[in-house]
A = this chain, B = another copy of it.
Amino acid sequence: MYIVGIDLGGTFFKVGLVDSESGKILKKIERETRVDEGREKVVERMASAVQEISEGYDYIGVGVGSPGSIDHDNGIVRFSPNFPDWIDFELGGKLSALINKPVFVENDANAFVLGEKWFGAGKGHDHIVALTLGTGVGGGVISHGILITGRDGIGTELGHVIVEPNGPLCGCGNYGCLEALASATAIRRMALEGQKKFPESEIFKAEDVSAKVVFDAARHGDALGVFILERVVNALAIGVSNFIHIFNPSVVVIGGGVSRAGELLFKPLREMVSHLVMPSFKGTYEILQSPLVEEAGILGASSIVLQREIKL
């Protein structure tokens, strides 16, 4: 069975033709989003990319993983920070009219957890908590086989769970959200904050301070790098153990750029979470790095179609 997945970003969108049986992306196109040209033009460009990539394939539908607040029942983008004119925009309906196929739209963090369920670390599982550690921290949850979105479809804001009251200021205005301690943005910020106290840190020998640079420094035993890593692990461990106590999932999967630190991050995280969970939860969960990496966006988007058409 073939599906088209669209990973919509503020600068580029990626379109992929996916074989649902193998979970392989057969073809892939990347195009500029060009939000400034207006939403209708963006949808037209999405439609033309879908037509180009699907030529000769009888695909069942299109899934779009979009940033922002999504009315997923109706395929409407309610509002999305980097898409100023996309307010209550019928993205699904417009795109569907142009390509004459069903289109399903979902928030990108929700698409991520669906991708993990259908193609990644959560395959075969009905209880999955997913976190993406990127510019922000996104969250998606599947519980009892159902994507948890809440009354208005805006739930599972796992990045805005407070893990350190009186901790650093978050973009949302609160203090100590998971996002303010475990996103790539937070890691960079903590490094810059540490420059005065650790001017000799190898972090500042890099051309640009990034999460990768910080974690590489930690790997080499750099004091500031290790300090930041510990802070990230601590925040993530509190968040993850809370999510385990709340959802009793079989899999916690963590993706996004920050997760590429691999075992440097996952080993101490697993250890700390094992100390924080209550005895009855021991052995009930695994904490896994997302295996989808670069393909998470397109596979997540295409799995929206599977979840809607197959599961429900």
Contacts and interface: CB of A to CB of B under 8 A. Distances in A.
Contacts of A154: 248, 280-281, 284
A183 to B, nearest CB: 16
A241 B151 contact: no
A56 interface: no
A144 B148 CA distance: 7
Interface in A212-271: 234, 238, 241-242, 245-250
Contacts of A284: 151-152, 154
Given A164-B165, A165-B234, 14 more contacts: A143-B143, A143-B150, A143-B155, A151-B248, A151-B249, A153-B248, A155-B246, A158-B245, A161-B242, A161-B246, A162-B163, A162-B238, A172-B278, A246-B246
| Chain B CB within 10 Å, residue with most, of A150, A164, A250, A276 | A150
A90 interface: no
A156 interface: yes
A14 interface: no
A210 interface: no
Interface residues of A, number: 43
Contact of A250 (B151, B276, B278): B151
Contacts of A155: 143, 245-248
B127 A151 contact: yes
A149 B278 contact: no
Nearest to A170: B278
A155 B252 CA distance: 14
A69 interface: yes
| Chain B CB within 10 Å, residue with most, of A69, A151, A156 | A151
28 contacts: A69-B280, A126-B151, A127-B150, A143-B143, A143-B148, A143-B150, A144-B146, A146-B146, A148-B247, A150-B248, A151-B250, A151-B284, A152-B248, A152-B284, A154-B280, A154-B281, A154-B284, A155-B245, A155-B246, A156-B246, A156-B248, A157-B278, A158-B245, A160-B278, A162-B241, A162-B242, A165-B234, A242-B242
